[in-house]
Amino acid sequence: TQLLEQSPQFLSIQEGENLTVYCNSSSVFSSLQWYRQEPGEGPVLLVTVVTGGEVKKLKRLTFQFGDARKDSSLHITAAQPGDTGLYLCAGPVSGTYKYIFGTGTRLKVLA
């Protein structure tokens, strides 16, 4: 069974601080996605990583896919209150149309 564990579960930081969120599995994924979700809204896709070792940047967000394609990280530089939300990693279950989600990281950035 493929599982995605995220850490930390909760994070409360001051504006301007840096942070890293981790998404780990014992299984290999063909790709991983990161989403941000606000309360009562659908998850919004931030990035898809496909190649082992890949690094993608989206403004102050840096995403990395592990060399073995079993883990990923999201680093936010100089966090802002607008970054507040639930961050979810997710990925396709091999050989199916299923998609599994990580356990989620709830981020709160205080002004």
Site string for other proteins, 64-83 (x = CB under 8 A): --------------------
Q: Which of 7, 12, 18, 30 binds other proteins (CB under 8 A)?
A: 30
Site string for other proteins, 6-25 (x = CB under 8 A): --------------------
Q: Where are the alpha helices (DSSP H) in 10-97?
A: none
The 3-state DSSP class for residue 20 equals strand
The 3-state DSSP class for residue 83 equals helix
Q: Which of 2, 24, 27, 48 binds other proteins (CB under 8 A)?
A: 48
Q: How far is the CB of 13 from other proteins (least distance, A)?
A: 19
Cα–Cα distance, 47 to 79 (Å, whole number)? 18
Cα–Cα distance, 58 to 76 (Å, whole number)? 10
- According to the binding rule CB under 8 A, does residue 1 interact with other proteins? no
The answer for residues whose C-beta is within 8 angstroms of residue 86's C-beta and 6 or more apart is 36, 37, 38, 104, 105, 106, 107
Which CB sits closer to other proteins, 5 or 70?
A: 5
Interface residues with other proteins (CB under 8 A)?
A: 30-31, 33, 35, 40-45, 48, 86, 88, 90, 92, 94-99, 101-104, 106
